């Protein structure tokens, strides 16, 4: 299996750091160059073995890299891509790991120079924890990774990127950026917004009585706010649609409770219980 | 410390079974009589050491008991209390462990004969898992247990019941049944309803892509439907109020997203992140 001479990771947080660790573990890269704004975080990433060299200068990090991974918050991906395209060698493949795809992929594809390839990716891994200190070479094990394919996606590059994700043990699924954003609005962005609204609804004094239910349902509200702001701004229409659907389902249950409709309530709870047990552990 | 000659547990599910195990472990009872409808579940509870004797006949189970614990779903508690009061010895203390308190406590206090005591309790323990097979003597360790005190509550009985919960390592809080039901509507019943509505909103095909966020926020939707139906029917007004408050908070976030108000979104997410990190681990 192929070992790349140099892979560059821009942004060594949970995703970038974990990918670095996984690339090393599975011998996918001889050298990993890490770029970041924060010298101490870069040093920590190097100490943990996620990167081999620390760079505050993007040009140095990108230079001669076979693969360049942009693993920053969604709002910064396109800006970095623009710069990366100036420094990347001919034939290099640029990928991102952003949580929304339509706007990022279309922006980047418009600015991409010929001779350099871009493949938009989204590993569905991670948690409410962020930062290099939570990084793990196992993060992608058995998780899905979506590759956002468009008419402009180079087939050879797509195959290479697919192979990299599979070698770090992710289950790769290929779909359009729009299909990705619709899917993620429901399975990820909606739960996040709901969780935040729940935290706002519970009074500070009541939180100390929280048992498992409240703890679980609000866990993702502890996620990184900037990352989630960017997600909401770049997947607005889908998230609003998901919220509307959600409110209809909530109103339906509320109506059963309001009318003391015992069998209606039971039906809703049974259906949810059964549906979840079929689809999730 | 006092060891009771006989404690009777009605309903040997997660709560009843765990309480039996904890009562034995902390030497609070010499003999625990278990009552249930299902012989095989009773046998399992005995095998696990949660009860010493199995009873399909309520009178035998209750007879001569110092403490009788009604640990059934909310909808069955008052019915069992009525029967228990016929068989309980003078001076016995009857407690329940139901998740709502106002309607149960007022019903039971009205039917309670003189000479027998009743103290409504609610251990805030448990999870989406139900049944004796998930029971643990540690279930109440460091969890809150609310004792619902009214003007009619006998002070001596209250102290005894408080001591029992403290001996199984629960942190006891005393409040009125109404205060309990208002609190629980927000910290437990609302999250449950929200979780169920979310399961209904995600399409079956999309569930397979669920990562940690959706898994966590829907976990409690796998809880026992009948138990939760009873909770909704007996805490209707508080739950509807909590849902209304929730919808206002959700609409506020949706409005920020709709208007692409980046700083508004960020503010909401930051506030939730900070509030949760102050109050929960």
- Per-residue pLDDT of B71-83, as tens digits, reads 999 999 999 999 9
> B250 CB contacts (<8 Å, ≥6 apart)?
A193, A194, A197, A243, A247
- Rounded-to-integer distance, Cα A246 and Cα B243, Å: 13
Residue A1 — very low, low, confident or very high, per pLDDT cuts 50/70/90? Answer: confident
CA distance B40 to chain A (A): 24
The DSSP symbol for B134 reads G
Q: Say yes or no to pLDDT of A11 above 90.
A: yes
- Per-residue pLDDT of B13-33, as tens digits, reads 999 999 999 999 999 999 999
The full DSSP string for chain A is ---EEEEEEE--SHHHHHHHHHHHHTT-EEEEEEE-S-HHHHHHHHHHTS-SEEESSHHHHHTT-SEEEE-S-HHHHHHHHHHHHHHPPTT-EEEE--S--HHHHHHHHHHPPTT-EEEEEEE----S--SGGG--TTTTTT-EEEEE--TT--HHHHHHHHHHHHHTT-EEEEE-HHHHHHHHIIIIIHHHHHHHHHHHHS-GGGGGG--HHHHHHHGGGGS-HHHHHHHHHHSHHHHHHHHHHHHHHHHHHHHHHHTT-HHHHHHHHHHHHHHHHHH--
Minimum mean pLDDT among A52-66, A125-139, A184-198, B21-35: which range?
A125-139
Residue A17: other Cβ atoms inside 10 A: 30
The pLDDT of residue B281 is: 64
The pLDDT of residue B211 is: 83
- Per-residue pLDDT of B133-157, as tens digits, reads 999 999 999 999 999 999 999 999 9
CA distance A251 to chain B (A): 9
- Per-residue pLDDT of A118-167, as tens digits, reads 999 999 987 777 889 999 999 999 999 999 999 999 999 999 999 999 99
Mean pLDDT of the A85-91 span? 98
The pLDDT of residue A130 is: 82
Q: What is the ipTM of this complex?
A: 0.90
The pLDDT of residue A43 is: 97
Residue A212 — very low, low, confident or very high, per pLDDT cuts 50/70/90? Answer: confident
Per the CB < 8 Å rule, is B186 touching A203?
A: yes
Token pair in block for residue A25:
């573990």
Are B191 and A217 in contact, with CB atoms under 8 Å apart? yes
Query: What are chain A's domains?
Result: 4-176 (3.40.50.720), 180-279 (1.10.3660.10)
Token pair in block for residue B26:
């902390």
The share of chain A scoring above pLDDT 70, in percent, equals 99
In this complex, is the C-beta atom of A145 within 8 Å of any C-beta atom belonging to chain B? Answer: no
- Rounded-to-integer distance, Cα B18 and Cα B134, Å: 8
DSSP E strand stretches across B53-152: 53-55, 67-70, 93-96, 117-123, 144-148
**Sign, Cα dihedral of B164, B170, B176, B180:** negative
The pLDDT of residue B129 is: 79
Residue A90: other Cβ atoms inside 10 A: 8
Residue B212 — very low, low, confident or very high, per pLDDT cuts 50/70/90? Answer: confident
pTM score, whole prediction: 0.91
In this complex, is the C-beta atom of A214 within 8 Å of any C-beta atom belonging to chain B? Answer: yes
Of B208, B213, B229, the CB nearest to A279: B208
- Rounded-to-integer distance, Cα A27 and Cα A168, Å: 10
Please report residues of B whose CB lies closer than 8 A to that of A243.
250, 254, 257
* Pairs across A and B, CB distance < 8 A: 282
Per the CB < 8 Å rule, is B250 touching A277?
A: no
Q: Which of B191, B205, B223, B200 is CA-nearest to residue A279?
A: B205
**Sign, Cα dihedral of A223, A147, A231, A211:** negative
- Rounded-to-integer distance, Cα B247 and Cα A221, Å: 17
Average pLDDT of chain A, as a whole number = 96
The pLDDT of residue B76 is: 95
- Per-residue pLDDT of B153-203, as tens digits, reads 999 999 999 999 999 999 999 999 999 999 999 999 999 999 999 999 999
Residue A155 or residue B129, greater confidence: A155
Q: Say yes or no to pLDDT of A281 above 70.
A: no
Residue A223's Cβ-count burial label (10 Å; 0-12, 13-18, 19+) is buried
Mean pLDDT of the A275-281 span? 87
In this complex, is the C-beta atom of B237 within 8 Å of any C-beta atom belonging to chain A? Answer: no
The share of chain B scoring above pLDDT 70, in percent, equals 99
């Amino acid at each position: 299996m192929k070992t790349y001479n140099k892979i560059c990771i821009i942004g060594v947080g949970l995703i970038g750091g974990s990918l670095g660790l996984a690339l090393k573990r599975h011998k996918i890269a001889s050298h990993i160059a890490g770029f970041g704004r924060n010298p101490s975080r870069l040093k920590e990433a190097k100490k943990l073995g996620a990167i081999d060299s620390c760079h505050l200068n993007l040009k140095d990090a990108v230079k001669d890299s076979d693969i360049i991974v942009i693993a920053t918050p969604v709002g910064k991906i396109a800006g970095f891509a623009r710069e990366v395209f100036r420094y990347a060698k001919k034939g290099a493949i640029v990928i991102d790991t952003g949580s929304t795809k339509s706007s990022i992929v279309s922006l980047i594809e418009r600015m991409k120079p010929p001779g350099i390839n871009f493949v938009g990716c989204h590993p569905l891994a991670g948690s409410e924890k962020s930062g290099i200190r939570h990084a793990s070479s196992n993060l992608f094990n058995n998780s899905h990774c979506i590759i956002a394919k468009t008419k402009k996606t180079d087939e050879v590059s797509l195959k290479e990127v697919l192979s990299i994700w599979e070698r770090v043990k992710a289950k790769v699924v290929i779909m359009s950026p729009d299909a990705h954003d619709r899917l993620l609005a429901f399975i990820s962005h909606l739960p996040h917004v709901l969780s935040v609204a729940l935290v706002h609804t519970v009074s500070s004094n009541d939180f100390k009585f929280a048992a498992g239910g409240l703890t679980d349902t609000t866990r993702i509200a502890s996620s990184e706010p900037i990352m989630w702001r960017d997600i909401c701004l770049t997947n607005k229409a889908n998230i609003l649609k998901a919220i509307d659907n959600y409110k209809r389902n909530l109103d339906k249950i509320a109506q059963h409770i309001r009318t003391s409709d015992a069998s209606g309530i039971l039906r809703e709870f049974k259906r949810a219980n059964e549906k979840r047990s079929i689809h999730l552990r």
